[in-house]
Amino acid sequence: MTLYRYQQVTLATLVTMLLSRLQNSPYWSAVELRENINEAIRIYQLGALRWKQRFIVQTIAGQCFYDTTTLPGTLDANDNPLILMPIRIAFNSEPLFFSTLDDMDSAGIGNWQIQTTAMVGAPDVPQLWGNVGLNLFFIYPADSAGGGSLQIDAATQAPIFATDGSGDGAFLNLDSGEVSTLLDYAQHISQIKRGGGKVQATMPKLKAFMRAVALQNSFFAASALFKKSYSDQHDRTTRPRLAGEQSGVPTAPRYR
């Protein structure tokens, strides 16, 4: 069992920690460091879906597709969408089964996009849901009467800090391991400004970040991108692990 120690860290603390990793070099401005931390947060949320929230919205009569960028109750005070991607959906507190567009199209349900709970042969309550990209999802069949309750458990937009210094006192809730994970990515992309060997030297930081994402997201861990570029399988094909591989003398098939 993994025990997490949650802590609150401010942007100012993250900037100080990142600068320390960069040997307190004046080569990067404070704005650049904040931007790199923001990018690390965005990428981490996109892959690990770390920040989540529950939203309750009402169904619209006969509507199959719902746009998460316009749903009432899912926008912030400035009418910006809060939802990054739905993860689970329930109708009137009953969980819906997840499906995909390909599954729906190949299931032999003719014109499923326009079917409602009032049609003959259709279920009398919605049964399925699925994502269409990040900002659109569907339910099947559509609620004919409308006014039903859709409970959406969703990953939210990543918390982003102001880069002008005005948000340096804002807090970010993370467990202790995640602080290091974010700084690994921010350190790597900071070195892109210098290029060459500096970038190459921080590649292990990027891999550590991607592996941390994979621990949180089984779909990413199973993806070809992760297996090809960041997994242990990739390491074993690109780095010699056996003594025999370095000396030319065959050894027992055991990794060091």
Phi, psi of 49 (to 5 degrees): 50, 50
Give dist(CA 86, CA 89) in Å, integer. Answer: 7
pLDDT, the chain, mean: 86
* In a domain? residue 221: yes
211 with 145, same domain?
no
Looking at the structure, do residues 19 and 138 belong to the same domain, yes or no?
Answer: no
230 φ/ψ angles, rounded to the nearest 5 degrees: -130, -10
Same domain, 40 and 67: no
pLDDT of 31 reads 96
Residues (pLDDT < 70) of the chain are 1-7, 219-220, 223-256
Examine the domain organization and report whether 197 and 129 are in the same domain. Answer: no
Please indicate, yes or no, if residue 91 is contained in any of the structural domains. yes
Shared-domain flag, residues 21 and 144: no
Could you tell me if 99 and 149 lie in one domain?
A: yes
Instruction: Say yes or no: 115 and 42 in one domain.
Output: no
What confidence score (pLDDT) does residue 83 get? 94
Domain annotation covers residue 254: no
| Domain membership flag for residue 177 | no
Q: How many domains does the chain have?
A: 2
Q: How much is the pLDDT for 215?
A: 86
Q: Is 10 inside a domain boundary?
A: yes
* 146 and 87 assigned to the same domain: yes
Q: Give residue 225's pLDDT.
A: 65
Based on the domain organization, do 61 and 25 belong to the same domain? no
Q: Check whether residue 146 and residue 85 sit in a common domain.
A: yes
pTM: 0.77
Whether residue 174 is contained in a domain is answered as: no
Task: Say how many Å lie between the first and final Cα of the chain, rounded.
Answer: 26
- Taking a C-beta distance cutoff of 8 angstroms, is the pair 92, 59 a contact? no
Q: Are residues 205 and 142 part of one domain?
A: no
The domain of 148 spans 52-156
In a domain, 249, yes or no: no
Strand 83-91, strand 65-67: pairing: unpaired
98 in the same domain as 138: yes
Within a domain: residue 191? yes
